[in-house]
Structure 1
Amino acid sequence: MSLDAYKDSSMLELFRLEAQAQTQVMDSCLLVLEREPTDPAQLEACMRAAHSLKGAARIVGLDVAVTLAHVMEDLLVCAQSGKVRLSSTRIDALLRASEALRQLSEGISVQGLPALQAILAEDTQQDAPVPDAMPDFRPALPEEVSAIETNEPEPAGELHDRILRVSAERLDHLLDLAGRSLVAAQRTKSLGQELAQLKRLQDHIDRSLHGLRDALLGQELPPRAKALLSDVNHWTLEAKSQLQQHTAAFDSFGWAFEQRSQRMYDTVLASRMRPCADLMAGKARMVRELSRSLGKEVWLNLEGEEVQGDRDVLETLEAPLIQLLRNAVDHGIESPAQRLASGKPAQGNLVLRARHAAGLLVLELEDDGAGVDLARVRAAVIARKLATETMAQHMHEEELLAFLFLPGFSVSEKVSEISGRGVGLDVVQHTLRQLRGTVRVRQQQGRGTVFQLQLPLTLSMLRCLVVEIGGEAYALPLAQVEQTLRIPADAISMVEGQQHIWVRERAIGLVAAHQLLQLPHGKSDPLGLPVVLIPHHDRSLAIAVDRIVGEQNLAVVPIDSRLGLLRGVEAGALLDDGSPVLIVDMDDLLNSADKLLGAGQVERVARLSEGPSLRRKRVLVVDDSLTVRELERKLLIGRGYEVTVAVDGIDGWNILRAEKYDLLVTDIDMPRMDGIELVGLVRRDAQLQSMPVVVVSYKDREEDRRRGLDAGADYYLAKSSFHDETLLEAVHMLIGEAVE
């Protein structure tokens, strides 16, 4: 039976998956046992992993793996009973055995197993010395093995569940279809808005008809006119009734369609998501072996292993992360003697943590080493003639650290197989840019260094900053945006013949987005120049846009290949209202900026008029209902007011703190923060407390009205009695005409 099982490729594949999962558990536990050799939980987990592998290897008839797992299990049982202590040399032997089991499961021939088994099976009654000659089980993978497409390992306890193999290409295609379905669902919002507009037109007709009847009241009309008037009244009422029914049905359908599309997309996306534990697996052991080869003691702590990330993103991060870890061990962590001399423990510590922040995947690698020697960086910059000595002496720390990411830049005094060749960090930065992410570094002299990688959670859904350029909407990947701000008329200055703005005492070059994308001039904002700061090499670049719309999650739609390469465009998407938007290729945009700056061909960003000018009054509308939000926005825009919308109280509060408004119009019942809380925050804020507030709510009971007014609202309007002029009259009463 064992021979048949051994020939059964499906059984071998299951054994390979189990071996991957169990040896990963064993490696992690052994690294903990090296610090806490008597930890009962880790010993138990290691012993069970060895026992499981022994049983699985017996099922597939892999006798050599059975024997090796058996001697590992015996040693761990002795450690559990206290008969032996797991010294570092025994941990070495167990780690080598774990690697050998993993290779055996992949069909790789392993040499030196008898010697390793003899070491593991040595007298377990006392800590006998272990020979220095330790077999090395790390042969290069045969070409045919490395080319095999493998599935991600499932936890051993879940192997009894049904598993369906799906190719990565088919899964990607399914995700694309789910994304397109989600985009189609978003289009129903704009159709719903058009139905709402049609309903408002119907209401206008109804009111006009009632006015006509009132005007003709008491007058003698011809019988034909009376009959026609009666027919018009009848059919108007019928049309109004059917329109209400169809609008309600469409709203219900649109909501259900969007919910199902979102669930489908989330489900397919979840199948692509993997825990960061997959990326972190094996890194602690790698750090241990590398540090020993350098005569150092370094421990890697892992945090956030359960945090999810896109499979393709995590796979692409493998090489950059290894490079950062090697640099941290070689450059960052000092030798034990140096650490002791500076008052630190001999063992260095690395922390690799993963977390989600602002819709992004954030990875941080932190060490407690000596930090970056800025004096040596400055000297290397001068020696390579990247800057004059005077310029280099005046560079900030952030500017100096940015040189570390230049190709070929190194401050290492020696060249080795690990580092010192000036290769590595530039590759890290290049890879992060390909993933629409960024890498930043900060350090504290003598205390350590932190590398922070920010990436999108998935390559199919992108968190973007939507801006308006040349009258059209464009999306900038949020991971590559540093800051947004509004510049007053006198903030643009000329430095060495180039336009600059000053941010945190730094002069930042200013370029118009319409010139970079070769678009016509857009409308100027009378309240200031909207600017987006983009990190670029050792500095930031200020991109002037027409208007900043806000942040949105966008389903990425690739550009049709038949269109060829589009200047400055990476992909397409649809906004929440269904309108199309182009996602900007940030690298292309920055390259265009470099060429224009280098050639001195940057157009002057027009200064705002400094003389007296008309100002449009600004209104913020906060409501979680898209229909109500859009209705109020169009009403106010129609009267000349400038309107911004927010989807709930927290969104509205963030907008109020970022920009100045003349009036707040808010709903009460909203998720995350309701209107009463929002009004309370406004009334307690020194800068906002005098701003007029209108509350618009479905609740029109007297106690509801009193609750809104007591919270600080200036006007309470019930949606049940809402019509065009009611809201506009309230706004006009509180802030006057739209233009002053």
Structure 2
Amino acid sequence: MDTSQYLEMFIEESKEHLQSCNEQLLALENHPEDIGIVNEIFRSAHTLKGMSATMGYDDIAHLTHEMENILDRIRNEQLGVTTNLLDVVFQSVDVLEEMVIDIASGGSGKKDVQLLVKRLKEIESGNSSIEETAATTVSDVEAAQLHYDEFERTVIAQSLEQGFSAFEIQVELREDCLLKAARVFMVFEVLEKHGEVIKTEPGVEQLENEDFGQRFLLVLLTNESVDKIQSLIQKVSEVEKVSIHPVQNEAAPAEEKVIEQQLGSQSETGHPQPEKPVLSERGNQPTGLHAVSKTIRVNIDRLDGLMNLFEELVIDRGRLQSIAGTLQNPELTETVERMTRVSGDLQSIILNMRMIPIETVFNRFPKMVRQLARELDKKIKLTIVGAETELDRTVIDEIGDPLVHLIRNALDHGIESPAERAAQGKPMEGNITLRAYHSGNHVFIELEDDGAGINREKVLEKAIANGLVSPEMTDSMTDHQVAELILSSGFSTAEEISDVSGRGVGLDVVKTTIESLGGSISIRSTSGQGSLFQVQLPLTLSIISVLLVELGTEVYAVPLSSIIETAVIHRSEVMDVHHQQVIDFRGSIVPIVFLKDIFDLPREQQEDDYYSVVIIRKGDQLAALVVDSFIGQQEIVLKSLGNYLQSIFAVSGATILGNGQVALIVDYNALIK
């Protein structure tokens, strides 16, 4: 059977099941007596086993089968939940993730899992033995007895009084069935053309998520005969057996002969059929299985393609606005204004489609914190706040690694050992809070700990040794300035190299990555009380608001998010301080930068008496950029300069203006640095 068409679906669903396993294992560690959590892990492992076996990934299937055996013994109270047991299961999930990532990268997904399998079997055999068979999920229905609530009994009774028939139908799928949810949907589709499904076991959401074994139950109200119902289901491929029980007025199965039909040679090709759009036959109202699903999966490449097309539309919109302003034709102006409003709404919709909850990044951290805390012999509690906060996919893709560095730094340098915390009168368990929230056109991510804080003397000693500051400068530096020294390249206060820190690589990478995303990072720390790392990021990187300025005959764009205000100053206001030209801006001494000098553009022989300046900010640092004139605010499409032009100083990209001219985008981070 050709399974290549299902590869992408297999990869995505496998990642979801493995993430669920990680989350539930962490919950199980805190609540080892909760069998419901064990059942959730079991269902994810069982589904992954079935999918991987069908797709031919035997190593994944083998390892998940052994995990199932362990989980089955736990839920049957034949094994207790211990730290060592959880460590091995966590390690198994890590290996499974590696194999799935290998498959996603075009690999075979093969890995030597014999050692892990052996360890799982050793744990399994440590208690009373059980028969080693392939486990079935809790949701499997073996000769199940449905239980009806009062409303369901009333509906069935009224339907029977009106001449309808009520049937309990048990459908068993073949062991090698691919995409069980699709088979369930096809059964519902044919049945709901001839009746109404009023109940399912397991529930609708579990059926859609394939959280069941090979069997499921449904209750159908219909005017059709048993033979007709049987023949309808028989037409669905990959159905192994159907059992139909007529329901009596008391909503209990009648003591009648069970009608069973083995479905084999009568079925169709046996190959999976593509899923169809979900539409009800009764006035487009969702019914049965269809009531829950209101979302679809879209390949991210399609969204990227849609975004690229819209970016071209933004460029053309700017061109039309320029033409309309030149021609001053009322009808053209009105049309362009309407197009601008409509395209603005379209822009919001497209950008929202690309937004992804940051929980897709945050989800990896609880397990990482657990593992690192054990390695460092520390007790640490991680609290996540605002995981539902959404960011553009391009930002999501890049922010994961910087956050990993920040968390590792907090665990190693921030949180003290239990003995040190106890000696200081602190709880032995340290606390780390990871939070995300929106503010204006930015997303803020904060990592806060209640650890030791940043040791000013230790940081300054290392900074002087590295030549970052001179001894004379240290007395005038604020705690905030000292704290941000740890973001310097190669900076580390670790006294010995370990797997966690001390290699001089880390927070400088964080700073560089965040600034490349158009963001910034700041640090607040109080010695003995803890630290707060705050990361500020733009909501999106594709379309940004800028201020267009002129330098001679050239047009440049300054990101609006970096601008405090614009001003016109007299030449006499410019002062020389320590070989640096500065101005007094609202009581603050601000360095002044002539952009023409930065970009090697000719300056007039006789300069004007007044300068047009743009005041920009990065964190708590300011700079005044001197330009020839201001053009105005505009939304532009950010375009990369490509691999050959990566090293151009103070330029982060380019855009195409409405008149076809190319404008370079000023990298304010580089200028302030």
Name the TM tier (shorter chain): 0.5 to 0.7
Change (3 A) 1:371 1:562: closer
**Among residues 618, 625, 633, which one is paired with 1:535 in the alignment?**
618
Compute the TM-score of the two structures, normalised by the length of structure 2: 0.63
| 1:719-734 alignment, distance < 5 Å | none
**Among residues 11, 29, 33, which one is paired with 1:16 in the alignment?**
11
Change (3 A) 1:350 1:552: farther
Deviations 1:298-333 (A, max 9, x none): 333333333333333333333322222222211111
Q: CA deviation at 1:8?
A: 2.9
In structure 2, the partner of 1:87 is 82
Are the equivalent residues in 2 in contact too, given 1:310–1:457 (CA < 8 A)?
yes
Task: Name the % identity.
Answer: 32
Change (3 A) 1:560 1:412: closer
**Among residues 427, 435, 444, which one is paired with 2:526 in the alignment?**
444
Deviations 1:119-163 (A, max 9, x none): 55356789xxxxxxxxxxxxxxxxxxxxxxxxxxxx995796888
Change (3 A) 1:39 1:303: farther
Are the equivalent residues in 2 in contact too, given 1:463–1:477 (CA < 8 A)?
yes
- Greater per-residue strand proportion: 2
In structure 1, the partner of 2:310 is 178
The amino acid that maps onto 2:395 is V
Secondary structure of the 1:419 match is coil
The alignment status of 1:108 with 2:110, answered yes or no, reads yes
The alignment status of 1:316 with 2:398, answered yes or no, reads yes
The amino acid that maps onto 1:346 is M
In structure 1, the partner of 2:377 is 295
Q: CA deviation at 1:443?
A: 1.5
Secondary structure of the 1:15 match is helix
The alignment status of 1:404 with 2:486, answered yes or no, reads yes
Counterparts of 1:96 and 1:563 in 2: how far apart (Å)? Answer: 44
Deviations 1:64-115 (A, max 9, x none): 6556445544654665677765332332232123234334554222231432
Counterparts of 2:500 and 2:308 in 1: how far apart (Å)? Answer: 41
Are the equivalent residues in 2 in contact too, given 1:299–1:347 (CA < 8 A)?
yes
Counterparts of 1:470 and 1:419 in 2: how far apart (Å)? Answer: 49
Are the equivalent residues in 1 in contact too, given 2:66–2:117 (CA < 8 A)?
no
**Aligned pair count?**
504
In structure 2, the partner of 1:389 is 471
Are the equivalent residues in 2 in contact too, given 1:399–1:539 (CA < 8 A)?
no
Change (3 A) 1:122 1:571: same
Are the equivalent residues in 2 in contact too, given 1:179–1:265 (CA < 8 A)?
no
In structure 1, the partner of 2:31 is 36
| 1:183-262 alignment, distance < 5 Å | 183-194=315-326, 197=328, 247=331, 250=332, 253-255=335-337, 257-258=339-340, 261-262=343-344
Secondary structure of the 2:472 match is helix
Secondary structure of the 2:536 match is strand
In structure 2, the partner of 1:355 is 437
Change (3 A) 1:194 1:86: same
Q: CA deviation at 1:46?
A: 2.4
Change (3 A) 1:298 1:563: closer
Deviations 1:7-38 (A, max 9, x none): 63344554333221101111012113322334
Secondary structure of the 1:390 match is coil
More displaced 10-residue stretch of structure 1: 516-525 or 103-112? 516-525
Secondary structure of the 1:420 match is coil
**Among residues 110, 121, 124, which one is paired with 1:121 in the alignment?**
124
| 1:272-283 alignment, distance < 5 Å | 272-283=354-365
In structure 2, the partner of 1:244 is none
Secondary structure of the 2:30 match is coil
| 1:565-580 alignment, distance < 5 Å | 568-573=650-655
The amino acid that maps onto 2:637 is A
Secondary structure of the 2:474 match is helix
Structure 2 segments unaligned to the other structure (5+ residues): 104-108, 130-205, 211-274, 278-295
Change (3 A) 1:86 1:164: closer
**Among residues 505, 517, 523, which one is paired with 1:423 in the alignment?**
505
Q: CA deviation at 1:252?
A: 6.0
- Greater per-residue helix proportion: 1
Q: CA deviation at 1:164?
A: 8.7
More displaced 10-residue stretch of structure 1: 411-420 or 574-583? 574-583
Change (3 A) 1:414 1:438: same
The alignment status of 1:460 with 2:542, answered yes or no, reads yes
Deviations 1:628-687 (A, max 9, x none): xxxxxxxxxxxxxxxxxxxxxxxxxxxxxxxxxxxxxxxxxxxxxxxxxxxxxxxxxxxx
| 1:121-200 alignment, distance < 5 Å | 121-122=124-125, 168=301, 172=304, 174-194=306-326, 197=328
Change (3 A) 1:194 1:552: closer
Q: CA deviation at 1:179?
A: 0.4
Q: CA deviation at 1:372?
A: 0.9
Q: CA deviation at 1:355?
A: 3.1
Counterparts of 2:643 and 2:69 in 1: how far apart (Å)? Answer: 61
The amino acid that maps onto 1:298 is I
In structure 2, the partner of 1:729 is none
Counterparts of 1:161 and 1:89 in 2: how far apart (Å)? Answer: 46
Deviations 1:239-287 (A, max 9, x none): xxxxxxxx1xx45643554455456655655565443233234222122
Counterparts of 1:89 and 1:566 in 2: how far apart (Å)? Answer: 53
Change (3 A) 1:389 1:104: closer
| 1:490-569 alignment, distance < 5 Å | 493-501=575-583, 507-517=589-599, 518=601, 520=603, 530-535=613-618, 540-545=622-627, 552-558=634-640, 568-569=650-651
Counterparts of 1:89 and 1:503 in 2: how far apart (Å)? Answer: 62
Are the equivalent residues in 2 in contact too, given 1:381–1:392 (CA < 8 A)?
no
Q: CA deviation at 1:373?
A: 0.8
Change (3 A) 1:564 1:371: closer
Are the equivalent residues in 2 in contact too, given 1:468–1:545 (CA < 8 A)?
yes
Are the equivalent residues in 1 in contact too, given 2:576–2:582 (CA < 8 A)?
yes
Counterparts of 1:89 and 1:504 in 2: how far apart (Å)? Answer: 62
**Among residues 91, 94, 102, which one is paired with 1:96 in the alignment?**
91
Secondary structure of the 1:554 match is strand
Counterparts of 2:428 and 2:12 in 1: how far apart (Å)? Answer: 38
Q: CA deviation at 1:370?
A: 1.1
Counterparts of 1:270 and 1:503 in 2: how far apart (Å)? Answer: 38
Change (3 A) 1:263 1:16: same
Counterparts of 1:346 and 1:442 in 2: how far apart (Å)? Answer: 23
Are the equivalent residues in 1 in contact too, given 2:621–2:672 (CA < 8 A)?
no
Counterparts of 1:463 and 1:92 in 2: how far apart (Å)? Answer: 49
Are the equivalent residues in 1 in contact too, given 2:618–2:669 (CA < 8 A)?
no
Are the equivalent residues in 2 in contact too, given 1:190–1:578 (CA < 8 A)?
no
The alignment status of 1:48 with 2:34, answered yes or no, reads no
Change (3 A) 1:467 1:252: closer
Are the equivalent residues in 2 in contact too, given 1:303–1:351 (CA < 8 A)?
yes
